[in-house]
């Protein structure tokens, strides 16, 4: 029997709060540090590893975290989720994004169909369509191949797929699987759509409209922008557009699209990269086989997340340490720092995935919680970030836990030796140095040059960023977010916080305003 209880009511959380705080600079110095780095590591899928040696944990803290995981029933709650219980209590929905990449538990039936079968069928439809586009069986009106795919969406329909495309673009070019360039239009700002349209040959472009409901204002506005551009070029828009939507939306059977691929209400936008939302654009860009490898990596990581052994479950352990940092150590933010330019938009995707999921102040039953929940999350690729906001991270008044991601090898394999080391070696040297610098610091009589250290971090290390590794990396963070939501007893799968602004914006456009809203509307010449 699963019980949903607030974090501060759990006996194990009270015990965790009483554990002695680890002196990170001390345990990470000398041979002690060397042993920690070797021992505080958990294997992940696709050859990745989660290393938490530079976190403020020891055997006592870890034992308390294991008790917390057991009392909070994290493994049981994940099992209930993937077996089809209604976990999204706010919208009274199942949560099934894991099923887009594999079957973890029992068959799940909803809307009268087996959901795993449904997702596989959509993936196969997308694969068949993409293969026909690549083979020149589906062409533009002149019988010419499409060379560019443009995704039109916002939020989860943009951030995740865009981040995944950029993560694999160079890898695909190097490995001969690059099929089509992808572009993305998301912002309702007309400059966004105009900039993309000015950078492509619309006659050889296929557009993917992504809207679950078929009513998303920003997306439909951008669709009209694109249709006007196609019309002005003398092109039939219906021969250049496909839709990713729900089976009940007005887009599902519209003659305005070459094809429609379906998603459902059981996959939130921010968790939709492994569904048709990511599948269409990534399969067109790189080929269905690459998308399948991406799914395989995510599926393998999901299996690890289902383990009841906390210290062998990378996602559960990462989540528990994060809650310890947020609710015991009192750290208000966290940062994701990929030392891989290919992951340049991955932190932006995680901002939505994490902050939209766990940025809640009431529990699953609508009752206020008396403790902090989701932290502020931000990040940029290293080494760029080192020359930007690392100053605050090293010497600022707030301690911000860090999540590094690093790979031993680059995606393209081309490098240059300067001063006896390659670019990739310089990149990896920087991430290793930063972990130790944050943890150990450096004493100096000049206070301006003094580094206190004690700033915790973890790192996910892999051999190379390829489709399977990317899938595993994505699943790691998705499942970490889920486990943290369970611990905070919030509903991580709705997002009411994005609704109020939409409602007021519609009032502004309808000129149904008064008070401050009217004045701001007038100032902006609406």
Q: What is the pLDDT of residues 111-149, one digit of tens each?
A: 999 999 999 999 999 999 999 999 999 999 899 999 999
Residue 82 has a pLDDT of 98
- Nearest CA among 307, 314, 311 for reference residue 67: 311
Q: CB-based contacts of 452: which residues, under 8 Å, 6+ apart?
A: 395, 441
Spatial contact of 472 and 44, defined as CB atoms under 8 Å apart:
yes
pLDDT at 4 over 90: yes
Catalytic site includes residue 387: yes
pLDDT at 410 over 90: yes
Predicted local confidence at residue 192, as pLDDT? 97
Q: Which of 395, 403, 387 is nearest to 442 (CA)?
A: 395
High-pLDDT (> 90) share of the chain, % = 95
Does 414 have pLDDT greater than 90?
A: no
State the pLDDT at residue 415.
86
Cα–Cα nearest to 302, from 122, 483, 55, 465: 483
pLDDT score for 24: 98
Segment holding 263, helix H or strand E: strand 260-263
pLDDT at 79: 98
Instruction: Taking residues 360-366, report their average pLDDT.
Output: 96
Q: Which of 132, 387, 408, 449 is catalytic?
A: 387
DSSP 442: B
Q: Give CA–CA dist 440/432, Å, rounded.
A: 12
**How far is the C-alpha of 436 from the C-alpha of 266, rounded, in Å?**
42
- For residue 59, the model assigns a pLDDT of 97
Distance (Å, rounded) from C-alpha 275 to C-alpha 101?
A: 8
Q: Which of 208, 209, 188, 184 is closest to 197 using CA atoms?
A: 184
- Does residue 205 surpass a pLDDT of 90? yes
d(CA 487, CA 334): 17
- The pLDDT mean for the chain works out to 96
Distance of CA 201 to the CA centre of its chain: 30
Tell me how crowded residue 374 is: count the other CB atoms within 10 A of its CB. Answer: 22
Q: Helical H runs in 306-395?
A: 314-327, 346-358, 390-395
Gap between the Cα atoms of 399 and 180, Å rounded:
43
Q: Which residues contact 20 (CB under 8 A, 6 or more apart)?
A: 60
Selecting among 132, 173, 303, 502, the annotated active-site residue is 502
Dihedral pair phi/psi, residue 130, rounded to 5°: -60, -40
Q: Is 158 a residue whose pLDDT tops 90?
A: yes
Whether 206 shows a pLDDT value over 90: the answer reads: yes
pLDDT, residue 498, reads 86
pLDDT band at 294 (very low <50, low <70, confident <90, very high): very high
3-state SS string for 163-221: HHHHHHHHHHHHHCCCCCEEEEECCCCHHHHHHHHHCCCHHHEEEEEECCCCCCHHHHH
Q: From its phi and psi, is residue 147 left (phi > 0), alpha (psi between -120 and 50) or beta?
A: alpha
> Within 13 Å and on the Cβ side, how many CA atoms surround 333?
14
Whether residue 442 lies in the annotated active site: no
Q: Is the pTM of this model over 0.95?
A: yes
The model's confidence at residue 80, banded by pLDDT at 50, 70 and 90, is very high
Of 95-99, 473-477, 495-499, the poorest mean pLDDT is in: 495-499
Helix (H, G, I), strand (E, B) or coil at 376: strand
Interatomic CA distance for residues 406 and 464, integer angstroms: 9
- Residue 509: Cβ within 10 Å count: 12
List, for residues 302-350, the tens digit of each pLDDT value: 999 999 999 999 999 999 999 999 999 999 999 999 999 999 999 999 9
Question: How far apart, in whole angstroms, are the C-alpha atoms of residue 18 and residue 20?
Answer: 6
Q: Examine the pLDDT at 216 and tell me if it is beyond 90.
A: no
Tell me what pLDDT residue 378 has.
98
- The position carrying tokens 């799914």 is 295
Six-digit token pair at 252? Answer: 């599902």
* 158-190 CB burial, b ≥16 within 10 A, e <16: bbbbbbbbbbbbbbbeeeebbbbebbbbbebee
Is-contact 15 21, C-beta < 8 A?
A: no
Point out the catalytic residue in the list 356, 360, 380, 468: 356
Contact between 375 and 331 under an 8 Å Cβ cutoff? The reply is yes
Question: What is the rounded average pLDDT of the residues 491-510?
Answer: 90
pLDDT at 499 over 90: no
Give Cα separations from 297 to 48, 128, 274, 293, 472 (angstroms): 10, 22, 11, 6, 5
Q: Which of 170, 132, 125, 173 is nearest to 280 (CA)?
A: 125
Q: Is 356 a catalytic residue?
A: yes
Contact 126, 279 (CB under 8 A): yes
Confidence at residue 437, expressed as pLDDT on a 0 to 100 scale: 97
What letter would DSSP give residue 366?
S
Residue 500 scores a pLDDT above 90: no
pLDDT tens for 27-40 read 999 998 999 999 99
pLDDT tens sequence across 179-200: 999 999 999 999 999 999 999 9
């Amino acid at each position: 029997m699963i019980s949903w209880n607030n974090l501060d009511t759990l006996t194990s959380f009270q015990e965790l709060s009483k554990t002695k705080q680890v002196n990170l600079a001390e345990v990470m110095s000398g041979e002690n540090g060397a042993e920690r780095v070797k021992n505080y590591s958990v294997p992940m899928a696709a050859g990745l590893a989660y290393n938490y040696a530079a976190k403020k944990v020891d055997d006592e803290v870890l034992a308390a975290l294991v008790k917390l995981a057991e009392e909070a029933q994290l493994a049981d709650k994940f099992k209930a989720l993937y077996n089809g219980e209604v976990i999204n209590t706010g919208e009274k929905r199942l949560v099934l994004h894991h099923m887009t990449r594999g079957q973890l538990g029992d068959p799940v039936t909803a809307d009268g169909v087996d959901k795993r079968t449904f997702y596989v069928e959509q993936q196969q439809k997308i694969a068949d369509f993409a293969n026909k586009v690549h083979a020149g069986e589906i062409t533009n009106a002149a019988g010419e191949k499409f060379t560019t795919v443009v995704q039109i969406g916002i939020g989860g329909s943009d951030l995740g797929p865009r981040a995944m495309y950029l993560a694999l673009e160079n890898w695909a070019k190097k490995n001969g699987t690059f099929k089509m360039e992808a572009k993305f239009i998301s912002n309702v700002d007309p400059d966004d759509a105009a900039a993309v349209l000015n950078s492509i040959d619309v006659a050889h472009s296929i557009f993917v409209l992504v809207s679950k409901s078929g009513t998303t204002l920003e997306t439909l506005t951008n669709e009209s922008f694109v249709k006007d551009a196609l019309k002005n070029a003398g092109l039939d828009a219906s021969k250049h557009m496909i839709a990713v939507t729900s089976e009940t939306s007005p887009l599902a059977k519209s003659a305005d699209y070459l094809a429609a691929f379906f998603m459902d209400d059981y996959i939130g936008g921010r968790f939709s990269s492994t569904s048709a939302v990511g599948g269409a654009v990534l399969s067109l860009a790189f080929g269905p086989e690459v998308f399948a490898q991406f799914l395989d990596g995510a599926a393998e990581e999901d299996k690890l997340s289902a383990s009841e052994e906390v210290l062998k479950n990378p996602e559960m352990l990462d989540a528990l340490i994060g809650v310890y940092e947020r609710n015991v150590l009192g750290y208000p933010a966290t940062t994701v720092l990929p030392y891989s330019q290919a992951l340049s938009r991955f932190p932006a995707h995680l901002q939505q995935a994490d902050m939209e999921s766990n940025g809640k102040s009431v529990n699953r039953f609508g009752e206020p919680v008396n403790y902090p929940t989701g932290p502020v999350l931000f990040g940029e690729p290293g080494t760029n970030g080192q020359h930007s906001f690392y100053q605050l991270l090293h010497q600022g008044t707030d301690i911000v836990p860090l999540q590094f991601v690093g790979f031993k090898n680059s995606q393209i394999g081309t490098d240059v030796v300067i001063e006896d080391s390659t670019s990739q070696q310089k990149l990896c040297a920087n991430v290793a140095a930063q972990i130790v610098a944050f943890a150990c610091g450096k004493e100096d009589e000049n206070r301006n040059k003094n580094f206190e250290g004690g700033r915790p971090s973890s790192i996910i290390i892999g051999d190379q960023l390829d489709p399977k590794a990317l899938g595993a990396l994505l699943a790691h963070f998705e499942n970490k977010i889920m486990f943290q939501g369970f611990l905070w007893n919030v509903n991580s799968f709705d997002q009411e916080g994005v609704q109020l602004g939409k409602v007021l914006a519609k009032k502004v456009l309808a000129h149904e305003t008064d008070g401050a809203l009217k004045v701001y509307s007038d100032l902006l010449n609406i």
